[in-house]
Amino acid sequence: MPRTPSENERIRQMAKANILEAAMDLFIRQGYHATSISDVARHAGISKGLMYNYFQGKEELLATMVTERIGAIAQVMQDAAALTEPIEQLKFIIGHAIDSVYQKPEEHRFYLHLQTQPEADQELIKYSRLLVEEAARQFELQCRIFERLGVAEPRKRSLYFSSTLQGIMLMISTYPQQFPIEEIKAQMLDEFRR
């Protein structure tokens, strides 16, 4: 019996996810520029020709990863905004950010590295800018949370919050097994609930 269009699409999405996972693994271990499309295909267990049925090349892989990353960040903020109380919104943001880094520390470092690319790297700088622009959008949403909390200077408080959370995320991504995650989340929430 032939497959249905929905079954074909499901198989296609699974194959794309496998390729993206293989590419991420190699980009983390070897770096973007040192990874070839042949490396990705081999690591994904498919032929290079089949790979081109899913992605036009290495840059499209990166573009897809960045688009998905931005979408995931935006979804977290959207889900946080759906909560009624600002303290619950902060708790949601803190929990998701810390858990996400703890579960995939290497991936966090990859995106952090990508976000801080030099201007001279013409291939990667556009993706760096996309990540920075999204961070700026999310910062504005976060400022509104601190406004609702009634703090005196919501932008400064939001900047302090972001800096603290980013520092914690960097430390967890560097030393993932050395952090009492739940205690850190509780301590940060306590710090910013006032």
Per-residue pLDDT of the chain (194 residues; tens, 9 = 90+): 777 878 878 878 899 999 999 999 999 999 999 999 999 999 999 999 999 999 999 999 999 999 999 999 999 999 999 999 999 999 999 999 999 999 999 999 999 999 988 888 999 999 999 999 999 999 999 999 999 999 999 999 999 999 999 999 999 999 877 788 999 999 999 999 87
| CA atoms of 112 and 69, how far apart (whole Å) | 12
pLDDT of residue 95: 97
Instruction: Name the pTM for this structure.
Output: 0.90
Where in the chain do CATH 1.10.10.60 domains reside? 1-55
Any idea what DSSP says for residue 120? Answer: T
Task: Answer yes or no: CATH 1.10.10.60 is held by domain 1-55.
Answer: yes
pLDDT on residue 145: 95
DSSP character for 138? H
CATH code of 58-192, in short, is: 1.10.357
Give the burial class of 188: count Cβ atoms within 10 A of its Cβ; 0-12 exposed, 13-18 middle, 19 or more buried.
buried
CATH 1.10.357 boundaries in the chain = 58-192
Helix (H) or strand (E) holding 111: helix 105-115
CA 142 – CA 92 distance, rounded (Å): 12
Token code pair at residue 43: 């690591």
